Amino acid sequence: MPTTYQINFNRLKKIAEENGCVFNPDPERVKKVIGLMSENFDLVEEWVCPCKQQFKPAQKGKDILCPCPEWKDEIEEIGHCYCKLFFSKEKAAQIK
């Protein structure tokens, strides 16, 4: 049975692929953000964004979910989302 982390990783990878972007080239950053988000899911059963999270611990129905409403605009403007989880392919290639 897949872990919450693996379910979340697969979910986010699919979202990235469907939207023409990629994960951060830094695997440690990816692991941290997805891990914290997975912990939030285990707590409140929502994919609460750990970087834009307003309530500690996360509160169901009150925190921003991932992907957030601004993520595509952030990638377009600066090449990555606020959390530095999703990157444009071009920005990721500059870092590698």
pLDDT in tens, 16-44: 999 999 999 999 999 999 999 999 999 99
- CB-based contacts of 59: which residues, under 8 Å, 6+ apart? 44
Domain span at residue 37 reads 4-95
Q: What are phi and psi of 55, to 5 degrees?
A: -110, 135
C-alpha span between 68 and 76 (Å, rounded)? 14
pLDDT in tens, 39-53: 999 999 999 999 999
The model scores a pTM over 0.75: yes
Kindly report the CATH number assigned to the domain that includes residue 66: 3.90.460.10
Tokens of 68: 């957030």
Domain total in the chain:
1
